[in-house]
A and B are shown apart, each in its own frame.
Chain A
């Protein structure tokens, strides 16, 4: 329900009767001399439960505060609290229970508790909602709540953070609920703004947010993953692989900016760039297994929480990259690593003994006998030199959360890619999500909070766990990743596994509203091309480009699926060229000089660019519902239909059918159609026939009348 709001006019003398009414009406309410009164609600599964409220205000003393049971099954209690932050839990039939209506999950006294931030009721408050852009206006809702002394708001201003200009919004004192504000559509692709309300005593309340004016939703995103040290050198110059592949290669932020200016990402229809961590990393070398040494070229070995890695560039370079990207309609998402720090980080030096970390990382390396993955995931360390943050320690959790969100406050990034989400309690990613939205993007739907929840095949419930209204806005679709590789790259799985993974995923987390990031490769696994080529597994080798023509067909097929399925595709740098790589660090070799690419690689790049442009053009391929028409071991036929635009696309993929297939077609896919990739035309009726010799074929059929038939 909308929040009611009230502001009395300046200097209005209330008749005594009204004043008395005011007082009487407020006895249950939220102001008190000492602090602000907070109300707590719980609806236990059974109204007969015994329920008490315990909290940090008295060190969780039990028995806690008794709650009043209501006839509708809710239990409620209120308590005066000091401004700031507190922890509490409901004890239901002796079991500690978090407040499921609140996002922040923590642990205290070894028990699950909720953290709630308490706004200062003695100060005015302001919140933003539903920031959106349509063809006519930039719109958002503002809710004003006056301070508890009843002082009214007298001014409401919106400041454009790009130009510094401010506009004032008229306040109508008779208005109740959320104020709907409409501003002319800004000319910049990305509009960042601050809304400030001022009350009659001159006290202010402010909120920041931003919106993209192109109207893209998450489903419209097309992504690209950049490992800056391995992308391009100063001015966009090509890099060479270091002799030791796990040392720095010399890539810089200016290299990324140069490729932005060159239009490299535009050719791939990219609107979302994932930059792997930019934070200062160690320059020393550490054991990476198999007798090899490596350094922090990848960004995951932070020695600072705020500094930009000098090897990559300066803060000014970050701002320039963001400006250039934003001007081209490209959002930039920053990789952050809240799970651990490097042993050279001052936090480890200063806090190794006070509970910020899960002890000596060498004593509990993930996957060791002492700390198996299954039982130690949240407390084990990736390696002996990467201390693992203890998110159950409030001081550590608060500091790392603030550090992480501070990157969004200092730079206009468009989101975060959060590393190693399941290595932390869920409360960690939730705390970052909540603070990020609160701080820079209240009410905005354009802040991408993309978590890395690395799973094996089929772990749908695992992903669901981190999504939802309090959770990440998206995660990587690992089950689909494994299915894509099985179907098209190593050809060990059924083609039906691909659409099964999409359907199972939709079933598992569909009600979260999240659109997941789909991908066929990343920096942690063997390169797609090397899986398709059946290269070896020597992770320090630099295998050559594929020589087997079948490999290139497999790659083309994989990308057809990736760019036509639901979700938003995230391409790992170099995969569009069929760059080989057999694990870490081989899969992180430098992006080759385009002049050195073999013809097959350039062909593949053109194929991926065509697919990306097609997806950017076709609403059906981005937003359409998936309709599986045939799914078997060796063939896959599916449609995408967008009811809003009435657009349809039909996708056919085969491996080795060995028998003629007859696939009945709904009318929406029939008529005069064009195979966008091969340029052939056909008239489809109520059935699609796939010949038995259709080995590794693909087709994307659009109506001949579609504007997207010549991408």
Chain B
């Protein structure tokens, strides 16, 4: 072979020349603007290989043979390590160690130390891998620190001993204790969003209509508090297995029409409750929505609900007031100007950003909704007082707080402080006042978590990222099941041990879930945008006809019912109500003439929540995957004394799922005995097993 270099190269195409010359610098990473081909091989997570055996000498495997049921995993937040605490003896008659190691209660009552020679000793449980504070109560009265140990001085100048974080291989696993008997445990909550205007028209006399709206779906439709009361009395909620009502914002809304948000040119009324008209200079003078009834009727709803064992949450809108509000006119400084200070307006998504701080806490959703300025203390006091007064005067059990990321954090922390000081003491018995927020974000969990802190902020938020995974993994099945499971596993303790997040598959801002479950979906995977496009243009006439869609929705509810969090049922989803995006997803509730599929779904939802009510493991247990296939998932949830196995088949063919314990079990959905470690789960079904 000889060398034959061509020296007379003439570029015929300058374009090709430029292209070829660009990015010639590396072999492997030449930047031609084309994404890499992801490896088609997914090596997985490895599973268990048992003990590694290079050191072992015997010809038998050391693991891999039936090792009995797996040990439940304990979230780090629930783990505690035993630690021996000492205090030098100096003639004391008694020493007690107190501190934050066991939560607030161990500041009140600690552990008595025993004298052992020259020192006092006690064994306490300290949090796993988290610091704690302690102090010693000497002779029953005198608080002292042990100067030989590390100390920390808090903001008020109190000095405590500091326990450095420790980890341990043998730990105690302590779930948060249930509240005393008779006090509602919010981990047991199942929430139902009764969208007042669209639920039941109990009193035609209070019906409203707004001129010039773009259609009946955008106007008031007559639902009211009297209608809610009817359904409470009729036991509808109890029969369905929900125990908490979320009711539309009770504040009086404007009677003016308004265009939608974000370029929506249709005209709407304030039927939804999110356009409050704030006129009274006295925040304690409540102004209820006249189209829904009177304040007395609303108080009656709360009383009736409590009589039926139902908790009540009010939706509360504190981001903005309608421009026609007297408070807007009288207190310009209580509201942010519609001016971004950079030469433009401060409409969200126009001159100001929806997402970044400070814009998102100032921007107007649209040009007739001035944004409250809670950095103004008078405005904040007014707003917080109004929320507190709604709670005190009606006796509700919590709030659903709309669009919380658009509110200055001071409003929320002040509300929490005043709830603890003014609302909780009025309750009988006292219980946790549950505040659940809405941060409409399917991806950024850090942003959602920033508002969750039961002591100072929210008890929980609606879990939009989980919704995305559950809907894509279980209902649309566009996500690999293993990806969904991996997400959910990591999600369980993400918001902290005290948080009670609300899990859901549908709400009033998303297209109706039944359409996402259809054999042929009308919308793709984008959970922010899709559905709106057909809210006005050729919306779906009816829900899908096929049974499969209802079964998939039931599987979604089954997952909510069998795992932690407070499941939310958006009114109508229990019967597969049809509808595209807002406002078509807010059609009037169907009460009669249910198709067989709709009746089946409602009965199944009711059954699932009844099973949940009977099993604490499903409400607060730790979940562990037993077997995971492409379309099947067997998991176990465990809490003290309760083990429940859940076998879900998301696929469209029947599947045999293996991995149940060999002990006798009862299957709770169909009510049959289960003896085998295998179960045939029909397509799109769930089976739930517990000890008989």
Contact = CB atoms under 8 A, between A and B. Distances in A.
Interface string A364-395: 00110110111101000011000000000000
A81 B301 CA distance: 65
A145 B45 contact: no
By DSSP majority rule, is chain A's interface helix, strand, loop, or mixed?
loop
A48 B526 contact: yes
Interface in B94-135: none
B408 to A, nearest CB: 22
B368 to A, nearest CB: 29
Interface stretch (B36-44, B189-197, B540-548, B668-676): B36-44
A335 to B, nearest CB: 12
A423 interface: yes
Contacts, number: 276
Nearest to A371: B169
**Residue picked from A453, A468, A471, most chain B C-beta under 10 Å:** A468
Contacts of B35: 41, 43, 70, 72, 74, 76
Interface residues of B, number: 75
B21 interface: yes
B38 A465 contact: no
A526 interface: yes
A71 to B, nearest CB: 12
Contacts of B330: none
B444 A93 contact: yes
B165 interface: no
B244 to A, nearest CB: 28
B528 A9 contact: no
A168 B483 CA distance: 52
Contacts of B51: 367, 373-374, 456
Interface stretch (B22-30, B156-164, B409-417): B22-30
B26 A30 contact: yes
A462 interface: yes
Contacts of A37: 31
Given A74-B35, A366-B52, A453-B49, A461 B24 contact: no
Contacts of A4: 19-20, 30, 32
Contacts of A145: 24-27, 30
A382 B54 contact: yes
A45 B465 CA distance: 12
B150 interface: no
Contacts of A566: none
Contacts of A173: 5-6, 9
Given A3-B27, A126-B27, A145-B27, A456 B63 contact: yes
B55 interface: yes
B58 A526 contact: yes
Interface in A446-467: 452-462, 464-467
B60 to A, nearest CB: 8
Interface stretch (B10-18, B205-213, B248-256, B319-327): B10-18
A527 B21 CA distance: 62
Interface stretch (A21-29, A266-274, A655-663, A673-681): A21-29
**Residue picked from B59, B63, B444, most chain A C-beta under 10 Å:** B59
A539 to B, nearest CB: 5
Interface stretch (A147-155, A348-356, A623-631, A688-696): A147-155
Given A171-B5, A466-B43, 8 more contacts: A4-B20, A30-B23, A45-B483, A50-B443, A119-B26, A126-B27, A170-B5, A456-B61
27 contacts: A4-B19, A12-B9, A18-B14, A41-B35, A48-B527, A76-B35, A94-B446, A95-B490, A101-B37, A145-B25, A145-B30, A170-B2, A170-B5, A171-B3, A375-B169, A419-B54, A420-B52, A456-B64, A459-B49, A462-B46, A466-B43, A467-B41, A482-B61, A485-B59, A526-B59, A527-B59, A539-B58
Interface of A: 1, 3-6, 8-10, 12, 14, 17-18, 21-22, 24-26, 28-31, 36-39, 41, 43, 45-50, 70, 72, 74, 76, 78, 93-95, 100-101, 116, 118-119, 121-122, 125-127, 143, 145-148, 150, 154-155, 167-174, 176, 300, 366-367, 369-370, 372-375, 377, 382-383, 419-420, 422-423, 426, 452-462, 464-471, 482, 485, 511-512, 524-527, 530-531, 537, 539, 583-584, 586-587
Question: Which 5 A-B residue pairs are closest in the complex by CB-CB distance?
Answer: A121-B25, A456-B64, A6-B20, A526-B59, A583-B57
